[in-house]
Amino acid sequence: MNSGFYCEVLQRLREKVQRHRPQLWREQTWLLHHDNALAHTAVLTQEFLAANKIPLIPHPPYSPDLAPCDFFLFPKMKFKPKGRRFDTIEDIQAEKQNVLDTLTEKNFQDAFQKWR
């Protein structure tokens, strides 16, 4: 992955947030958290983030193991469907969306506060 491709991904993310989470978009209460991978820290990516006013949660340098999603979000995403079988990819996606929909803003704030 390079920064050009990553900027395309970020553009699609912006559009999806705007379309699927209009309240977060209007209030500008959504945040982006990514690690310090080269594509994330590249000048092109940083310029894209600044130009589009994408709010970013800083990631500690040299701490790839401190990503809050590793300890908060991913276990929740894996636990609920554990042991179940799904017939289609769409069923898996729907189940994952259900898990995401049950999480509150406070859940995310608590997760990120814990790891600061």
Q: What is the pLDDT of residues 52-81, one digit of tens each?
A: 988 888 776 665 555 666 667 777 777 777
Question: Got the DSSP string for 65-106?
Answer: GG-HHHHTHHHHHHHTTTT---SSHHHHHHHHHHHHHH--HH
Domain boundaries, the chain: 1-60, 67-116
Q: What is the pTM of this model?
A: 0.52
